Amino acid sequence: MGLSMLEYSKVILESVSFDPALFKKELIKAVNRLMDSEAEQLLTWCVARYQFP
């Protein structure tokens, strides 16, 4: 069984977290591709994981 799009997005974001500009680009792409509820979960995960204000 493969990764869900939400889980795949998390993997990508973790792999580019060293570069803020690339992280932002990938986050925008992920949010646009996910359903609204999944996008909300991803943003919540980002806030918790990366301590965004």
* DSSP string computed for 1-52: ----HHHHHHHHHHHTTT-HHHHHHHHHHHHHHS-HHHHHHHHHHHHHHH--
In a domain, 27, yes or no: yes
In a domain, 43, yes or no: yes
Nearest-angstrom CA–CA distance, 27 and 7: 13
What's the total number of domains in the chain? 1
Share the mean pLDDT of the chain.
Answer: 94
Q: 53 is in which domain, residue-wise?
A: 19-53
pTM: 0.89
For 14-47, b/e burial (b = at least 16 CB within 10 A) is eeeeeeeeebeebbeebbeebeeebbeebeeebe
pLDDT at 49: 95
In a domain, 12, yes or no: no
In a domain, 32, yes or no: yes
**Mean predicted confidence (pLDDT) in 35-48:** 96
